[in-house]
Protein backbone atom coordinates (compact mmCIF):
# COMPACT_ATOMS: atom_id res chain seq x y z
CA UNK A 1 0.00 0.00 0.00
CA UNK A 2 2.91 2.37 0.37
CA UNK A 3 2.69 4.93 -2.43
CA UNK A 4 6.43 4.90 -3.12
CA UNK A 5 7.62 1.39 -2.49
CA UNK A 6 10.74 1.91 -4.62
CA UNK A 7 12.11 4.86 -2.65
CA UNK A 8 11.80 6.64 0.66
CA UNK A 9 8.57 8.61 1.35
CA UNK A 10 8.76 12.16 0.11
CA UNK A 11 7.39 15.43 1.45
CA UNK A 12 5.10 16.19 -1.48
CA UNK A 13 2.93 18.76 0.22
CA UNK A 14 5.86 20.74 1.59
CA UNK A 15 7.64 20.66 -1.74
CA UNK A 16 4.58 21.90 -3.63
CA UNK A 17 4.29 24.93 -1.38
CA UNK A 18 8.03 25.55 -1.68
CA UNK A 19 7.70 25.39 -5.48
CA UNK A 20 4.90 27.97 -5.39
CA UNK A 21 7.15 30.24 -3.36
CA UNK A 22 10.08 29.81 -5.73
CA UNK A 23 7.99 30.50 -8.88
CA UNK A 24 6.14 33.57 -7.60
CA UNK A 25 7.17 37.20 -7.90
CA UNK A 26 7.91 39.73 -5.13
CA UNK A 27 10.16 39.65 -2.11
CA UNK A 28 8.30 37.96 0.72
CA UNK A 29 11.24 37.93 3.12
CA UNK A 30 11.63 41.69 2.74
CA UNK A 31 7.92 42.27 3.26
CA UNK A 32 7.89 39.89 6.23
CA UNK A 33 10.71 41.81 7.91
CA UNK A 34 8.90 45.07 7.30
CA UNK A 35 5.60 43.75 8.66
CA UNK A 36 7.32 42.46 11.80
CA UNK A 37 8.93 45.84 12.27
CA UNK A 38 5.52 47.48 12.05
CA UNK A 39 4.06 45.05 14.53
CA UNK A 40 6.58 46.10 17.17
CA UNK A 41 6.77 49.82 16.31
CA UNK A 42 4.80 52.79 17.63
CA UNK A 43 1.31 53.52 16.46
CA UNK A 44 0.13 56.54 14.52
CA UNK A 45 -2.41 59.07 15.62
CA UNK A 46 -4.78 60.56 13.04
CA UNK A 47 -5.85 64.19 13.18
CA UNK A 48 -8.71 64.91 10.81
CA UNK A 49 -7.81 63.76 7.31
CA UNK A 50 -4.09 63.70 8.02
CA UNK A 51 -1.75 61.49 9.95
CA UNK A 52 0.53 63.40 12.30
CA UNK A 53 2.99 60.57 12.64
CA UNK A 54 3.98 58.15 15.37
CA UNK A 55 3.05 59.10 18.90
CA UNK A 56 4.55 57.13 21.75
CA UNK A 57 6.94 57.39 24.65
CA UNK A 58 10.02 56.76 22.48
CA UNK A 59 8.98 59.38 19.95
CA UNK A 60 8.20 61.94 22.64
CA UNK A 61 11.59 61.31 24.17
CA UNK A 62 13.30 61.73 20.81
CA UNK A 63 11.41 64.97 20.19
CA UNK A 64 12.52 66.40 23.54
CA UNK A 65 16.13 65.35 23.00
CA UNK A 66 16.27 66.92 19.55
CA UNK A 67 14.57 70.07 20.84
CA UNK A 68 17.15 70.33 23.61
CA UNK A 69 20.01 69.95 21.12
CA UNK A 70 18.53 72.68 18.90
CA UNK A 71 18.05 74.94 21.92
CA UNK A 72 21.70 74.60 22.96
CA UNK A 73 22.88 75.20 19.39
CA UNK A 74 20.68 78.30 18.98
CA UNK A 75 21.75 79.86 22.28
CA UNK A 76 25.46 79.27 21.71
CA UNK A 77 25.23 80.40 18.09
CA UNK A 78 23.30 83.52 19.02
CA UNK A 79 25.97 84.64 21.50
CA UNK A 80 28.61 83.97 18.87
CA UNK A 81 26.70 85.99 16.25
CA UNK A 82 26.36 88.97 18.60
CA UNK A 83 30.13 89.45 18.67
CA UNK A 84 30.16 90.06 14.90
CA UNK A 85 27.15 92.41 14.83
CA UNK A 86 27.92 95.32 17.16
CA UNK A 87 25.29 97.47 15.43
CA UNK A 88 22.52 95.15 16.76
CA UNK A 89 21.29 95.05 20.34
CA UNK A 90 23.32 92.98 22.78
CA UNK A 91 21.93 89.63 23.93
CA UNK A 92 19.94 89.87 27.16
CA UNK A 93 17.52 87.67 29.10
CA UNK A 94 14.60 88.46 26.77
CA UNK A 95 16.67 87.49 23.74
CA UNK A 96 17.54 84.16 25.34
CA UNK A 97 13.87 83.52 26.11
CA UNK A 98 12.89 84.25 22.50
CA UNK A 99 15.65 81.96 21.25
CA UNK A 100 14.38 79.14 23.49
CA UNK A 101 10.68 79.48 22.62
CA UNK A 102 11.12 77.82 19.23
CA UNK A 103 12.88 74.68 20.54
CA UNK A 104 10.27 74.35 23.28
CA UNK A 105 7.57 74.32 20.60
CA UNK A 106 9.55 71.70 18.67
CA UNK A 107 9.28 69.36 21.66
CA UNK A 108 5.56 68.92 20.90
CA UNK A 109 5.78 69.09 17.11
CA UNK A 110 4.57 65.50 16.64
CA UNK A 111 1.25 66.25 18.34
CA UNK A 112 0.79 69.87 17.27
CA UNK A 113 2.86 70.43 14.10
CA UNK A 114 1.19 73.66 12.99
CA UNK A 115 1.42 75.15 16.47
CA UNK A 116 5.15 74.46 16.47
CA UNK A 117 5.52 76.29 13.13
CA UNK A 118 3.49 79.30 14.31
CA UNK A 119 5.29 79.64 17.63
CA UNK A 120 8.78 79.20 16.16
CA UNK A 121 8.11 81.72 13.35
CA UNK A 122 6.47 84.25 15.70
CA UNK A 123 9.32 84.12 18.23
CA UNK A 124 11.88 84.60 15.42
CA UNK A 125 9.96 87.59 14.00
CA UNK A 126 9.68 89.21 17.43
CA UNK A 127 13.39 88.57 17.98
CA UNK A 128 14.29 90.38 14.75
CA UNK A 129 11.80 93.20 15.43
CA UNK A 130 13.53 93.93 18.76
CA UNK A 131 16.83 94.42 16.96
CA UNK A 132 18.74 91.41 18.25
CA UNK A 133 21.56 90.06 16.07
CA UNK A 134 20.83 87.62 13.23
CA UNK A 135 21.75 84.10 14.23
CA UNK A 136 20.63 80.43 14.19
CA UNK A 137 17.22 81.21 15.62
CA UNK A 138 15.78 80.29 12.21
CA UNK A 139 16.95 76.67 12.61
CA UNK A 140 13.93 75.95 14.80
CA UNK A 141 11.65 77.45 12.15
CA UNK A 142 13.19 75.22 9.44
CA UNK A 143 12.77 72.07 11.55
CA UNK A 144 9.15 72.94 12.36
CA UNK A 145 8.33 73.53 8.69
CA UNK A 146 9.97 70.27 7.62
CA UNK A 147 8.10 68.28 10.27
CA UNK A 148 4.71 69.80 9.42
CA UNK A 149 5.11 68.92 5.73
CA UNK A 150 6.16 65.36 6.55
CA UNK A 151 3.06 64.69 8.65
CA UNK A 152 0.76 65.82 5.85
CA UNK A 153 -0.18 69.37 6.86
CA UNK A 154 1.10 70.81 3.59
CA UNK A 155 -1.21 73.69 2.69
CA UNK A 156 -1.44 75.14 6.21
CA UNK A 157 2.34 74.88 6.46
CA UNK A 158 2.89 76.82 3.23
CA UNK A 159 0.40 79.45 4.41
CA UNK A 160 2.14 79.80 7.78
CA UNK A 161 5.49 80.04 5.99
CA UNK A 162 4.18 82.93 3.87
CA UNK A 163 2.75 84.68 6.93
CA UNK A 164 6.00 84.14 8.84
CA UNK A 165 8.05 85.57 5.97
CA UNK A 166 5.79 88.61 5.76
CA UNK A 167 6.25 89.09 9.49
CA UNK A 168 10.01 88.82 9.03
CA UNK A 169 9.97 91.54 6.35
CA UNK A 170 7.92 93.83 8.58
CA UNK A 171 10.15 93.08 11.60
CA UNK A 172 13.27 93.92 9.59
CA UNK A 173 11.99 97.44 8.84
CA UNK A 174 10.37 98.31 12.18
CA UNK A 175 13.33 97.32 14.34
CA UNK A 176 15.11 99.97 16.45
CA UNK A 177 18.44 99.50 14.63
CA UNK A 178 19.60 101.44 11.58
CA UNK A 179 20.81 98.50 9.47
CA UNK A 180 17.72 98.04 7.33
CA UNK A 181 18.07 94.94 5.07
CA UNK A 182 18.14 95.49 1.31
CA UNK A 183 16.28 93.72 -1.44
CA UNK A 184 19.06 91.17 -1.96
CA UNK A 185 18.90 90.15 1.72
CA UNK A 186 15.13 89.69 1.64
CA UNK A 187 15.31 87.79 -1.65
CA UNK A 188 17.93 85.46 -0.24
CA UNK A 189 15.75 84.84 2.83
CA UNK A 190 12.78 84.03 0.58
CA UNK A 191 14.98 81.69 -1.47
CA UNK A 192 16.15 79.78 1.60
CA UNK A 193 12.54 79.46 2.76
CA UNK A 194 11.53 78.08 -0.66
CA UNK A 195 14.42 75.61 -0.59
CA UNK A 196 13.38 74.33 2.86
CA UNK A 197 9.80 73.81 1.73
CA UNK A 198 10.85 72.20 -1.56
CA UNK A 199 13.19 69.75 0.16
CA UNK A 200 10.43 68.94 2.64
CA UNK A 201 8.02 68.17 -0.22
CA UNK A 202 10.58 65.98 -2.02
CA UNK A 203 11.29 63.97 1.12
CA UNK A 204 7.57 63.62 1.84
CA UNK A 205 6.86 62.40 -1.70
CA UNK A 206 9.64 59.83 -1.57
CA UNK A 207 8.52 58.59 1.82
CA UNK A 208 4.94 58.29 0.58
CA UNK A 209 6.09 56.32 -2.47
CA UNK A 210 8.20 54.03 -0.28
CA UNK A 211 5.26 53.51 2.07
CA UNK A 212 3.00 52.64 -0.87
CA UNK A 213 5.51 50.11 -2.17
CA UNK A 214 5.75 48.68 1.32
CA UNK A 215 1.97 48.36 1.62
CA UNK A 216 1.80 46.68 -1.79
CA UNK A 217 4.51 44.22 -0.79
CA UNK A 218 2.72 43.46 2.47
CA UNK A 219 -0.55 42.91 0.60
CA UNK A 220 1.21 40.63 -1.88
CA UNK A 221 2.86 38.71 0.95
CA UNK A 222 -0.48 38.13 2.67
CA UNK A 223 -2.09 37.06 -0.60
CA UNK A 224 0.68 34.58 -1.32
CA UNK A 225 0.52 33.21 2.22
CA UNK A 226 -3.21 32.64 1.73
CA UNK A 227 -2.59 30.86 -1.57
CA UNK A 228 0.09 28.70 0.01
CA UNK A 229 -2.27 27.70 2.79
CA UNK A 230 -4.88 26.68 0.21
CA UNK A 231 -2.28 24.62 -1.62
CA UNK A 232 -1.22 22.97 1.61
CA UNK A 233 -4.84 22.27 2.59
CA UNK A 234 -5.49 20.64 -0.80
CA UNK A 235 -2.35 18.51 -0.55
CA UNK A 236 -3.28 17.41 2.97
CA UNK A 237 -6.78 16.49 1.84
CA UNK A 238 -5.57 14.46 -1.14
CA UNK A 239 -2.81 12.59 0.67
CA UNK A 240 -4.46 11.96 4.04
CA UNK A 241 -7.88 11.10 2.60
CA UNK A 242 -6.28 8.52 0.32
CA UNK A 243 -4.25 6.86 3.05
CA UNK A 244 -7.02 6.89 5.63
CA UNK A 245 -9.46 5.38 3.12
CA UNK A 246 -7.04 2.56 2.39
CA UNK A 247 -6.47 2.05 6.09
CA UNK A 248 -10.22 1.77 6.57
CA UNK A 249 -10.53 -0.83 3.81
CA UNK A 250 -7.59 -2.88 5.07
CA UNK A 251 -8.90 -2.71 8.63
CA UNK A 252 -12.21 -4.16 7.42
CA UNK A 253 -10.35 -6.97 5.66
CA UNK A 254 -8.30 -7.70 8.76
CA UNK A 255 -11.37 -7.81 10.99
CA UNK A 256 -13.10 -10.18 8.58
CA UNK A 257 -10.13 -12.57 8.49
CA UNK A 258 -8.82 -12.34 12.02
CA UNK A 259 -11.04 -15.15 13.38
CA UNK A 260 -11.41 -17.55 10.43
CA UNK A 261 -8.09 -17.03 8.61
CA UNK A 262 -5.72 -15.22 10.97
CA UNK A 263 -2.70 -15.92 8.77
CA UNK A 264 -4.37 -13.97 5.92
CA UNK A 265 -4.89 -10.94 8.19
CA UNK A 266 -1.15 -10.24 8.49
CA UNK A 267 -0.77 -8.65 5.00
CA UNK A 268 -3.70 -6.35 5.71
CA UNK A 269 -2.20 -5.27 9.03
CA UNK A 270 1.16 -4.75 7.36
CA UNK A 271 -0.48 -2.53 4.77
CA UNK A 272 -2.28 -0.60 7.52
CA UNK A 273 1.03 0.03 9.26
CA UNK A 274 2.69 1.23 6.04
CA UNK A 275 -0.21 3.51 5.07
CA UNK A 276 -0.50 5.01 8.55
CA UNK A 277 3.25 5.60 8.66
CA UNK A 278 3.13 7.43 5.32
CA UNK A 279 0.12 9.49 6.44
CA UNK A 280 1.88 10.50 9.66
CA UNK A 281 5.02 11.35 7.70
CA UNK A 282 3.09 13.62 5.33
CA UNK A 283 1.22 15.26 8.21
CA UNK A 284 4.47 15.90 10.06
CA UNK A 285 5.95 17.46 6.94
CA UNK A 286 2.96 19.79 6.63
CA UNK A 287 3.18 20.85 10.28
CA UNK A 288 6.91 21.45 9.94
CA UNK A 289 6.21 23.63 6.94
CA UNK A 290 3.71 25.71 8.90
CA UNK A 291 6.24 26.17 11.70
CA UNK A 292 9.32 26.94 9.60
CA UNK A 293 7.77 28.86 6.71
CA UNK A 294 10.61 29.40 4.24
CA UNK A 295 12.55 26.35 5.46
CA UNK A 296 10.37 23.94 3.49
CA UNK A 297 12.09 20.67 2.58
CA UNK A 298 12.75 20.25 -1.14
CA UNK A 299 11.73 16.61 -1.73
CA UNK A 300 10.77 15.11 -5.13
CA UNK A 301 7.20 15.67 -6.27
CA UNK A 302 4.99 12.69 -7.19
CA UNK A 303 4.85 12.11 -10.95
CA UNK A 304 2.88 9.89 -13.31
CA UNK A 305 5.62 7.26 -13.12
CA UNK A 306 4.51 6.71 -9.50
CA UNK A 307 1.02 5.61 -10.57
CA UNK A 308 2.06 1.96 -10.61
CA UNK A 309 2.86 2.13 -6.90
CA UNK A 310 -0.36 4.03 -6.25
CA UNK A 311 -2.44 1.44 -8.10
CA UNK A 312 -0.64 -1.41 -6.32
CA UNK A 313 -1.60 0.08 -2.99
CA UNK A 314 -5.26 0.27 -3.97
CA UNK A 315 -5.18 -3.28 -5.32
CA UNK A 316 -3.93 -4.47 -1.95
CA UNK A 317 -7.30 -3.42 -0.56
CA UNK A 318 -9.11 -5.89 -2.82
CA UNK A 319 -10.15 -3.54 -5.64
CA UNK A 320 -9.35 -4.63 -9.20
CA UNK A 321 -7.57 -1.61 -10.72
CA UNK A 322 -6.50 -1.52 -14.36
CA UNK A 323 -3.99 1.11 -15.45
CA UNK A 324 -3.89 1.88 -19.19
CA UNK A 325 -1.49 4.48 -20.60
CA UNK A 326 0.98 5.11 -23.37
CA UNK A 327 4.48 3.88 -22.63
CA UNK A 328 6.75 5.70 -22.41
CA UNK A 329 4.98 8.91 -21.42
CA UNK A 330 6.24 12.13 -23.07
CA UNK A 331 8.08 14.74 -20.96
CA UNK A 332 5.57 16.88 -19.09
CA UNK A 333 5.86 20.00 -16.90
CA UNK A 334 6.15 19.25 -13.19
CA UNK A 335 2.89 21.06 -12.44
CA UNK A 336 1.00 18.94 -14.98
CA UNK A 337 2.54 15.71 -13.64
CA UNK A 338 1.60 16.61 -10.07
CA UNK A 339 -1.96 17.63 -10.95
CA UNK A 340 -2.52 14.45 -13.00
CA UNK A 341 -1.19 12.25 -10.22
CA UNK A 342 -3.37 13.95 -7.59
CA UNK A 343 -6.50 13.72 -9.76
CA UNK A 344 -6.00 9.99 -10.23
CA UNK A 345 -5.27 9.58 -6.53
CA UNK A 346 -8.41 11.45 -5.50
CA UNK A 347 -10.55 9.56 -7.99
CA UNK A 348 -9.31 6.21 -6.62
CA UNK A 349 -9.90 7.44 -3.08
CA UNK A 350 -13.51 8.28 -3.94
CA UNK A 351 -13.99 4.86 -5.51
CA UNK A 352 -12.64 3.20 -2.37
CA UNK A 353 -14.82 5.27 -0.06
CA UNK A 354 -18.11 5.63 -1.92
CA UNK A 355 -18.51 3.52 -5.06
CA UNK A 356 -18.74 -0.03 -3.63
CA UNK A 357 -17.12 -1.07 -6.92
CA UNK A 358 -15.29 -4.24 -7.85
CA UNK A 359 -13.36 -2.91 -10.81
CA UNK A 360 -11.96 0.48 -11.79
CA UNK A 361 -10.07 1.50 -14.93
CA UNK A 362 -7.56 4.35 -15.13
CA UNK A 363 -6.79 5.57 -18.65
CA UNK A 364 -4.21 8.20 -19.58
CA UNK A 365 -3.86 9.65 -23.07
CA UNK A 366 -1.03 12.01 -24.01
CA UNK A 367 -2.14 12.90 -27.54
CA UNK A 368 -3.43 16.34 -26.56
CA UNK A 369 -1.80 17.32 -23.29
CA UNK A 370 -2.89 14.82 -20.65
CA UNK A 371 -6.38 13.30 -20.69
CA UNK A 372 -7.37 11.29 -17.62
CA UNK A 373 -10.35 9.00 -17.28
CA UNK A 374 -11.14 7.01 -14.14
CA UNK A 375 -14.29 4.86 -14.36
CA UNK A 376 -15.70 2.18 -12.07
CA UNK A 377 -18.57 -0.31 -12.01
CA UNK A 378 -19.95 0.82 -8.66
CA UNK A 379 -23.24 2.42 -7.68
CA UNK A 380 -22.40 5.68 -9.51
CA UNK A 381 -24.62 8.63 -10.25
CA UNK A 382 -24.09 10.47 -6.95
CA UNK A 383 -21.57 13.28 -6.48
CA UNK A 384 -20.79 13.37 -2.78
CA UNK A 385 -20.42 16.80 -1.22
CA UNK A 386 -16.89 17.44 -0.15
CA UNK A 387 -13.53 18.82 -1.18
CA UNK A 388 -12.32 15.95 -3.37
CA UNK A 389 -14.10 16.67 -6.65
CA UNK A 390 -13.85 20.41 -6.04
CA UNK A 391 -10.11 20.00 -5.59
CA UNK A 392 -9.79 18.06 -8.83
CA UNK A 393 -11.62 20.79 -10.71
CA UNK A 394 -9.47 23.49 -9.14
CA UNK A 395 -6.26 21.67 -10.02
CA UNK A 396 -7.33 21.30 -13.63
CA UNK A 397 -8.57 24.90 -13.89
CA UNK A 398 -5.27 26.21 -12.49
CA UNK A 399 -3.53 24.69 -15.51
CA UNK A 400 -6.09 25.92 -18.03
CA UNK A 401 -7.93 22.59 -18.22
CA UNK A 402 -11.10 21.11 -16.78
CA UNK A 403 -12.33 18.11 -14.82
CA UNK A 404 -15.83 16.61 -14.78
CA UNK A 405 -17.31 13.91 -12.58
CA UNK A 406 -20.61 12.08 -12.76
CA UNK A 407 -22.41 8.90 -13.74
CA UNK A 408 -20.72 6.85 -16.45
CA UNK A 409 -22.49 6.07 -19.77
CA UNK A 410 -22.63 2.36 -18.88
CA UNK A 411 -23.26 2.82 -15.16
CA UNK A 412 -20.86 3.35 -12.35
CA UNK A 413 -19.02 6.61 -11.86
CA UNK A 414 -16.55 8.39 -14.12
CA UNK A 415 -14.02 11.20 -13.71
CA UNK A 416 -12.67 12.83 -16.87
CA UNK A 417 -10.00 15.53 -16.80
CA UNK A 418 -7.95 17.28 -19.45
CA UNK A 419 -4.73 19.12 -18.63
CA UNK A 420 -3.27 21.10 -21.55
CA UNK A 421 0.43 21.76 -21.84
CA UNK A 422 1.93 25.19 -21.18
CA UNK A 423 2.34 26.12 -24.85
CA UNK A 424 -1.33 25.30 -25.43
CA UNK A 425 -2.48 27.41 -22.52
CA UNK A 426 -0.47 30.41 -23.76
CA UNK A 427 -2.48 30.58 -27.01
CA UNK A 428 -5.35 33.09 -27.03
- Strands in 302-419 per DSSP E: 320-325, 359-365, 370-376, 402-407, 413-419
Residue pLDDT, tens place only, 208-236? 899 899 999 888 888 877 776 776 676 67
Please state the φ and ψ torsions of residue 332, each to the nearest 5 degrees: -130, 150
SS3 214: helix
Classified as helix, coil or strand, 375 is strand
Write out pLDDT tens, residues 238-278.
Answer: 667 666 766 776 677 677 667 777 776 777 677 777 777 76
> 411 in helix, strand or coil?
strand
Confidence tier at 23 by pLDDT (50, 70, 90): very low
How buried is 136 (Cβ within 10 angstroms: 0-12 exposed, 13-18 middle, 19+ buried)?
Answer: middle
Sequence spans of domains, the chain? 29-220, 302-428
- Classify domain 302-428 at the CATH class level: alpha beta
Mean pLDDT of the chain: 75
Amino acid sequence: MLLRSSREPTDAMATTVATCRASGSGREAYAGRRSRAYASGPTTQPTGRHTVGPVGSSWRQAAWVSALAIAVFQVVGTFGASDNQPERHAIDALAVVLVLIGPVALAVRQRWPLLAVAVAAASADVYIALGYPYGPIFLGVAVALFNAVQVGRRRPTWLLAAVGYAGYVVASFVGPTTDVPGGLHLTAAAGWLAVILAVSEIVRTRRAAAAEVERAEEHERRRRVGEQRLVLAQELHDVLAHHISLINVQAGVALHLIDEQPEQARPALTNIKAASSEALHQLRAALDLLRRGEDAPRAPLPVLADLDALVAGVRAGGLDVRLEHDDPAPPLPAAVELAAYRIVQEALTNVTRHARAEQVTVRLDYADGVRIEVSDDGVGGVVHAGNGIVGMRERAAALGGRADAGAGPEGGFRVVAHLPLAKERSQP
